[in-house]
Amino acid sequence: MIAASRRSLARYGANQLLEGVKMPLVAEKLAAALVISERQASAPLLVADIMRELEDRGVVARADLASANALSARLHKQISDYLKQAVKVDDVILNQQIDPALIGGVRIETANRSWDLTVAKKIDDMRKVF
Amino acid sequence: MTSEILQFGSAESGGGISSLGLDLKAFIFQLIAFLIVLVILSKFVFPKLVKTLEDRRQTLEKSLEQAHQTELTLASAEEKAKELLHKARSQADAALADAKLEAKSMVAGAEAAAQAQAKRILDEAQDLIKEEHDRLSDELKKELAGLVATATERIIGEKLDSTKDSELIGKTIKGLAK
């Protein structure tokens, strides 16, 4: 039996979700496919692939936000509005992480794009210039 | 004949020759004796003597001739020896001149090689110094950049509170949206 590729599984998962199939059911089916083909370790990658599919189709984008301080709701909305415009999706899911090492600013990562607007990045660039 | 001669002598002894104090008999006897001696000498002695003298003369002549030849040979040999010596001297002079030239050129070559090596060593040393200088310069720049970056981090970290950070993020996102 030929195992389905991760990409085709991701497409299948995205289709199922868009057709309105409940997420736990979709997850169960995809988990079974991974177990049969003994690729359990690639589950996080499959999730990222599904998010990429959904983002490519303009449905939803998941953005990982990293900043030195917690962002306010206003800022969340501002970022969400910007991402909807930039990534061309209908909806954005924000995932906040705090990292004091960034000093200031914010880093945004979606499935297909990333923006590093942190002070740490600017200082690092300055170091490289020297 | 002798008795006639004797008779003639005694007939005349009272007059002419005896007035000179000469005895004719004695004179004739002496003359005969002389002639006998002469004949004997001529027959037995003179030829041998002459022959001996002639032989001696010839020997002397030969010796003289040989001596002359020897002189000539010696002169020729001396001449040849002189010539050989002259040749040898010339060759020695030429060899000495060649050797001097070669020695000069060897010394010049060694000097040039030493100079070239000295220059090479100097150039290598200069390259090494430049390399070291560049390396140290780069290291210093990196360290300085690191110090500046660390100082900037600290300063910004201290000065940037959450309110200012939020303002900064807001301005950046606005800038991106434009």
Q: What is the pLDDT of residues B50-68, one digit of tens each?
A: 999 999 999 999 999 999 9
pLDDT band at B7 (very low <50, low <70, confident <90, very high): low
CB-CB under 8 Å, A68 with B156: no
How do beta strands A60-67 and A91-98 pair? parallel
| pLDDT band at B101; cut points 50, 70, 90 | very high
pLDDT digits (tens, 9 = 90+) for B16-58: 666 777 788 899 999 999 999 999 999 998 899 999 999 999 9
> Would you say A69 and A98 are in contact if contact means Cβ atoms under 8 Å apart?
yes
Asked if A130 and B142 come within 8 Å (Cβ–Cβ), the reply is yes
A residues 23-42 closer than 8 Å to B (CB): none
Q: Is the dihedral of CA B17, B20, B21, B26 positive or negative?
A: negative
The residue of chain B nearest to residue A83, with distances taken between CA atoms, is: B177
Alpha-carbon gap: B175 to the closest alpha carbon of chain A (Å): 10
* Matching residue, tokens 């690729």: A39
Residue B130: per-residue pLDDT:
96
d(CA B49, CA B51): 5
A130 touching B (Cβ < 8 Å): yes
Per-residue pLDDT at A21 exceeds 70: yes
- Give the whole-angstrom CA distance, residue B30 versus residue B19: 19
Give the E-state strand segments of A3-130 in sequence order: 60-67, 91-98, 106-109, 114-116
Number of residues that make up chain B: 178
Is the Cβ of A79 closer than 8 Å to some Cβ of chain B? yes
- pTM of the predicted model as reported, rounded to 2 decimal places: 0.52
The average pLDDT across A48-61 equals 90
* Interface test mutation site (partner A, options B138, B154, B158, B169, max chain A beta carbons within 10 A): B169
pLDDT tens-digit series, residues A55-89 = 998 888 999 999 998 999 999 999 999 999 999 99
> Tokens in use for A126?
């300055």
Greatest distance between any 2 Cα atoms in chain A: 57
Residues of B in contact with A117 (CB under 8 A): 169, 172, 176
Tell whether A58 lies on the interface with B, counting CB pairs under 8 A.
Answer: no
Residue of B nearest to A81 (CA): B177
Mean pLDDT of chain B: 88
Are A103 and B160 a contacting pair at CB < 8 A?
yes
Q: Residue A125, Cβ neighbours under 10 Å: how many? A: 11
Phi, psi of A107 (to 5 degrees): -120, 130
Q: pLDDT above 70 covers what percent of chain B?
A: 90
Instruction: Name the region of A6 (left: φ>0; alpha: ψ -120 to 50; beta: rest).
Output: alpha
Residues B84-107 have a mean pLDDT of 96
A65 contact B CB<8A: no
Regarding an ipTM greater than 0.90, the answer is no
